[in-house]
Structure 1
Amino acid sequence: MQKLLFFLGFLFCYTLVNAQVINIENLRKDVDDTGFYGTVSLDLELSKNTNTIFAISNELRLQYTSGKNNFMLINEVDFKELNKNKYTNKSVQHLRYNYSLTKTTTLEAFIQIQKDRVSFINHRTLIGAGTRFKISKKPNYRFFIGTLIMYEHENSLGVHQDVIDQDFRANMYVSFGLYPSKNLRIINTTYYQPKIKTFSDYRVSSETTLGITVFRNLLITTSFSYQFDTLPVLGVPLTQYKLENGITYTF
């Protein structure tokens, strides 16, 4: 137990000093019991956007549920090797609060801080709130829809100087999970995020994750994510994708 706590503490500290759309649904644990739940994961990545990247990343997620209240804290970090001789980092800190109004309707509020050197984002802060709807929940199938509004403050790399962008975006998502057996899960989430005043400026992000339980608390995961941005940061392609294989430990 002491070794496990030391390992988790090390990963937590590492994330704090290092983390375009973060897939919260893939990280969410749908539980009704009061108490803490958490996961820690380690991933290997090969991706292609503006560079060829090899990466090792880890993620720590803590969730606390008490009655109708649910709190979620996420720290995520990527350590990347670009073109075999350069390094970068990506970090995300996300805090979310959910309040269950009814069995099918939940209020959500969140704040997120992130940076992404590969996408030339020096700093991005998001603050949002909205509603999440449970369309269906069965032992082997779950389906949710979310509608939120968020304020975005972004500092990105420009031609001659940093570019500051401040605006409001809608954040709409569809998420479903398939659980065909006790040891197998398939989760997909798709986000659509247009600017409120200019709907032609939007982002689409979709991620599908396959998880296989190999031991009681240990999963092997394979994830594929796709992102499209009509007006990305200067120098970043409209389309980006990522394939990850890794392991996740739950506690």
Structure 2
Amino acid sequence: MLKHSCLRAPSVRHLQSHLHPRPTSILSHRGMVTLHHRELAHPVERSPHVGKAQAAQGSVDVAIHEDMERVLWSEDALKSRVKELGRQIAADYADKRPLVLGVLTGAFTFTADLVRGMEPCPAGTQVNFVRASSYGSSTESSGQPGLKVDLDLSTTKGRHVVLVEDIVDTGLTLTLLKAHLLQECQAASVSVVCLLDKAARRKVNIAPDYKGFDCPDFFIVGYGLDFNEYYRTLPYIGVLKPEMYK
């Protein structure tokens, strides 16, 4: 992703608003905006294990952080879809002792909720995390991703790995990581589950085996996704205002 050398230094008050988003009960006069909108639904083409992606339908009232342009997926829409994915993966891996491997840092929230949604949980399921790349302060994926894997090889050898990503865009890092798990770590198999698929930005021929939603080409944050390490704790996924990162 491209670095922006001209980012203005945020004020202390501005930083505090990122670190501690105000409660949803506080309205616009305290820096929050109440948005009345219709949730976006993004139909998904089925991959072998990809279910129909759905967002909550109908009009909802959502109080959003002042730095957000709009909400794409509400907290309820995310919970519902992640539970669906969890149940599907649990059924597909019922007798395979899966190793659920979350990609840090963006997928930590998604991974935790996904594992809780794996009902009934397959016997022998284990959870671990791997750091494959860092987006830092930039807003576009690097064309030459560096792959640094901190993972005990013995934990993956012979295992059926469910690799959990927050978002798949160019697919470059994911391709390298999947190959590493199969070749170097000797995993028995590797399937990819992502919450968001930004296929319009794909640079290599790779597709997730499971996905939550098709993602439009906006700069989005929330539910684990960040800009400059802020906004990860927001319970929804929204579009960040351009002036916040340009």
TM-score above 0.5, yes or no: no
More relative contact order, 1 or 2 (CA 8 Å, 6+ apart): 2
Query: What is the TM-score normalised by the length of structure 1?
Result: 0.31
More helix by share: 2
Bigger share in strand: 1
